């Protein structure tokens, strides 16, 4: 029941999937995410680090 996704929480979900602690399918279902949403978080981290997950920075990076 996450209403607001802060940077740290997004990064933890991405790290858990990458580290094999949780499957992508399980993460999507558990946190009610779309695959596009998760992939965008993952790409933002890869390209810009944690700062890329800020919603205010999203427009600058696009």
Instruction: Write out pLDDT tens, residues 42-58.
Output: 999 988 888 888 765 54
User: Has residue 45 been placed in a domain?
Assistant: yes
Q: Which of 21, 61, 13 is nearest to 37 (CA)?
A: 13
Read off the pTM.
0.80
What percent of the chain lies above the pLDDT cut of 90? 60
User: Has residue 1 been placed in a domain?
Assistant: no
pLDDT, residue 4, reads: 79
User: Has residue 32 been placed in a domain?
Assistant: yes
User: Has residue 2 been placed in a domain?
Assistant: no
Structure tokens at 45: 């981290």
Q: How far apart are CA 22 and CA 47, in angstroms?
A: 23
The enclosing domain of 44 has a CATH number of: 1.10.10.10
Report the number of distinct structural domains present in the chain. Answer: 1
What is the domain extent for residue 26? 7-61
């Amino acid at each position: 029941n996450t209403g607001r996704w802060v940077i740290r929480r997004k990064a933890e979900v991405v790290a858990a999937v990458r580290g094999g602690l949780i499957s992508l399918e399980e993460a999507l279902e558990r946190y009610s995410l779309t695959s596009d949403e998760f992939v965008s978080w993952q790409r933002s981290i890869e390209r810009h680090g944690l700062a890329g997950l800020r919603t205010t920075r999203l427009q600058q990076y696009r």
